[in-house]
Every structure is written in C-alpha cells, then in structure tokens.
C-alpha cells in the first residue's frame, strides 16, 4: 500500500506543496508564487513535470513548468489568443495531460481550449470551439465564462469531452476539428421554464468521467447532480433531494468519480447558490456506490458543528491509489484527507489562504 503522498494546493496566495502520510497531517514543504493566485497545479505522471496556472493581480495569467515544485519554475509561452480573436486569457482553469506524448490541454477563461504538443511550453487555440456559431450567446456564471473540465477517452486521443460554465457539455471525436453540444436531461432551474428547452446556458460546475467505463459521466450542476450512461448525450438527475437516501442539497461545485469503480462518486453539497456553505454547519462528503441511486454521508473525522465551508470546483481530488485517497481544500484554508475512500477523514493542513484547487501529485 502506498504510504506517503504529495499534494499540490493552489491558493489565492500561492502554491503550497504538502508531503506526508496519506490522508493525514502533512508538512508544507514549499510555498511558491507568493502573493499570486494559483488557480491550478498538477504533476504529469507521464513525465514527472509539474504545471501551475498562476494569475498575478496586475500582470495577468501565466503557466509555469518545473521538474521540482520546490525549485525553479519556467514560464511557458502562452496560452494566449491570436490577434484576430480580440480576446485575452484572464485565467487558466485547468491543465490536463493528454494521451499522446507531449500533449497537454488547457481550459481557460474566456471559455476556450488550448493544446500543447511540446509538454506545455507553447500552446495553440482550438479554433473550432472558439469559432462556434453560438458563441455570441455564451454567458458565464459567477466565476466567469470558463472551460474547467477536460475528460479524455482512454485509447481515443481524438475524442475529448469538455464542460464549460455556463455553456454545458461539448464533445469532439475528430481531435477538435468539430464539436457537438449535449444537454438532454439537464434542467437549468435558474431560467424560466419556457426558456429551458432551447437554451445552451447550462451551468456545469464540474464534470468527471469513469476511466474504466468511459460512457459513464458524473456532473455537479448549478442545482442538480447528474449521471450520464451514454457518453454524455443524455443526463439523469441523481441528487434525490428530500429522499432519506438522497443529498441534503443539489448545489455544490466539485465532484469526484472513482477511477476504478464506475458506480462510485463523491460530492460536497452546499446549501444553495444563495448560500454557498456546507449545510447545517456540518462538513460532509457524500458518497454513492450505486450510480447515484442512494447517497450516504462520509463525515467521520470532519467537523460537525459550526462548520460553514465552501469547496470550489477544482478543490476536490483523488490520488488514484488503492484504497483510494481523497483530498479536498476549502476557502477557509483547511485541507482534509482520507486514505480509505472517504470512510475516515483527517485534517491535512490548516490556515492556508483560500484554496482554489487541490491535486495529488504522487
């Protein structure tokens, strides 16, 4: 069994690298990018290279690469929009290693997809998605118009499924030459009923795919938790709010799918869009192990009194190990971890700046 972990925590005031026993209190071994917002940081397991998306309050967003996250970071060239788009990247929300050697994908705001073919050193805009005829009608949520979820299809490098806020789920099967929008079953309750049928204004908060059963997707929506069994074409609401075995709320940001069990996923519900804190002052992760037919609270070790936390869309991850490790970080600056698939939790780190993202590096 894997005994130790390295966790990358992107915060409003820098990148924190934590190392220590899996799912338990860890040491902060370095703080990088002091004073800057680190939106996202990952380690590419293929190469061992680290990537960080950093937004300076005045001098804008940049992507950095490092062999050692405690050492020097090299600034990448881009992502940046071509001149004819008249756009400028305001934030890099996600960086995802691709399937082919050297390929990485980045999702940015305003909502767009960039591809690197040289391990992140240079980036090129995916024009087909940028040039979608519906783009003039695209709108963002509170976090802005952004591309935050990139799902890869195992063994199919030309197939990608994306989620954007607030323009739903998009898929390509030809390497990004063309894109289709899927939304059947999603209910945007924030729109008048008569406006829901034809809209593309689908505020997906986070999308996850089962790597072992790739037709299975889990989604946290802006009011709704959904599963798709058919590659994202159609969606079924699985929140079951009000049911004794349901969720206390169907609002939240992150969702994590089990990398080995397609029936299993976790969410961290918040009260509602008008009150984005954990319900009843209890910090609870909810797990389904039956594809969303039922949910149970996983709260052992988490505070259950006066705990009003907010966990953002990139603030929850697994470590891929067996048994599965889970980690989440809150805007309160607290990081919690579990080394047993959520059965028990421990405080991993406290008093960090507000946390935007958390990813297990190893």
Partner 1 sequence: MSTIILPTALKSRASGRDRVAATGSTVGDCLRSLELAHPDLKGWILDDQGRIRQHVNVFVGATKAPLDAAVGPDDEIYVLQAISGGQA
Q: Which residues bind partner 1 (CB under 8 A)?
A: 12-13, 35-37, 56-60, 62, 75, 77, 80-81, 83, 86-89
Q: Which is nearer to partner 1, 48 or 82 (CB)?
A: 82
Phi-psi region of 267 (alpha: psi -120 to 50; beta: other; left: phi over 0): beta
Q: Which is nearer to partner 1, 77 or 118 (CB)?
A: 77
Q: Which is nearer to partner 1, 55 or 228 (CB)?
A: 55
Contact yes or no for 165/148 (Cβ under 8 A): yes
Q: Which is nearer to partner 1, 2 or 56 (CB)?
A: 56
**Tokens encoding 59:** 């001098």
Shortest CB 155 distance to partner 1, Å? 34
CB atoms within 10 A of CB 245: 11
Q: What is the DSSP string of 238-255?
A: ---TTSTTS-S-SEEEEE
∠ CA(204), CA(310), CA(208), 5° rounding?
35
**Tokens encoding 202:** 């689908």
What's the Cα-to-Cα distance from 179 to each of 131, 218, 321, rounded to whole Å?
Answer: 10, 20, 33
Q: Which is nearer to partner 1, 75 or 156 (CB)?
A: 75
Q: Which is nearer to partner 1, 35 or 71 (CB)?
A: 35
Q: Which is nearer to partner 1, 121 or 196 (CB)?
A: 121
Shortest CB 39 distance to partner 1, Å? 12
Shortest CB 59 distance to partner 1, Å? 4
Shortest CB 243 distance to partner 1, Å? 40
Q: Which is nearer to partner 1, 123 or 226 (CB)?
A: 123
Shortest CB 284 distance to partner 1, Å? 29
Shortest CB 245 distance to partner 1, Å? 41
Closest residue by Cα to residue 87 from 51, 61, 56: 61
**CA distance linking residue 143 with residue 37, whole number of Å:** 14
Q: Are strands 27-32 and 14-21 parallel, antiparallel or unpaired?
A: antiparallel
Phi-psi region of 125 (alpha: psi -120 to 50; beta: other; left: phi over 0): beta
Q: Which is nearer to partner 1, 73 or 286 (CB)?
A: 73
Shortest CB 85 distance to partner 1, Å? 8
Shortest CB 232 distance to partner 1, Å? 30
**Distance, CA of 90 to chain centre:** 18
What contacts 351, CB < 8 A, 6 or more positions away?
333, 334
Shortest CB 86 distance to partner 1, Å? 6
Q: What is the DSSP string of 43-60?
A: E-TTT--EEEEEEETTTE
In this structure, the dihedral spanned by the alpha carbons of residues 241, 247, 248 and 253, taken in order and rounded to 10 degrees, is: -110
β-partners of residue 255 are 267
Contact yes or no for 114/126 (Cβ under 8 A): yes
């Amino acid at each position: 069994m894997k005994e130790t972990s390295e966790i990358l925590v992107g915060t409003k005031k820098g990148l924190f690298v934590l190392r220590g026993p899996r799912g338990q209190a860890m040491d902060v071994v370095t703080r990088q990018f002091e004073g800057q917002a680190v939106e996202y940081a990952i380690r590419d397991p293929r190469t061992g290279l680290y990537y960080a998306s950093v937004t300076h309050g005045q001098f804008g967003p940049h992507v950095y690469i490092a062999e050692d996250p405690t050492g020097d970071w090299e600034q990448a060239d881009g992502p940046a929009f071509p001149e004819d788009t008249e756009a400028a990247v305001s934030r890099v929300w996600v960086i995802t290693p691709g399937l082919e050697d050297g390929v990485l994908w980045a999702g940015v705001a305003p909502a767009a997809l960039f591809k690197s073919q040289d391990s992140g050193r240079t980036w090129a805009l995916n024009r087909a998605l940028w040039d979608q005829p519906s783009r003039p009608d695209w709108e963002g949520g509170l976090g802005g118009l952004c591309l935050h979820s990139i799902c890869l299809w195992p063994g199919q490098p030309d197939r990608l499924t994306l989620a954007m806020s607030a323009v739903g789920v998009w898929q390509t099967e030809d390497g990004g030459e063309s894109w289709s929008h899927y939304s059947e079953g999603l209910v945007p309750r924030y729109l008048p009923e008569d406006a829901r049928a034809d809209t593309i204004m689908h505020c997906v908060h986070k999308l996850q795919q089962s790597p072992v059963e790739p037709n299975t997707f889990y989604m946290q929506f802006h009011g709704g938790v959904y599963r798709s069994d058919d590659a994202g074409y159609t969606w079924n609401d699985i929140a079951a709010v009000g049911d004794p075995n349901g969720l206390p709320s169907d609002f939240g940001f992150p969702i994590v799918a089990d990398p080995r069990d397609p029936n299993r996923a976790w969410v961290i519900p918040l009260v509602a869009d008008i009150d984005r804190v954990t319900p009843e002052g209890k910090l609870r992760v909810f797990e389904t192990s039956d594809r969303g037919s039922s949910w149970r609270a996983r709260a052992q070790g988490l505070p259950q009194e006066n705990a009003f936390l907010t966990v953002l869309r990139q603030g929850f991850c697994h470590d891929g190990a067996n048994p599965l490790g889970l980690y989440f970080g809150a805007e309160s600056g607290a990081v919690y971890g579990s080394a047993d698939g959520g059965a028990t939790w421990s405080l991993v780190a406290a008093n960090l700046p507000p946390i935007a993202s958390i990813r297990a590096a190893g």
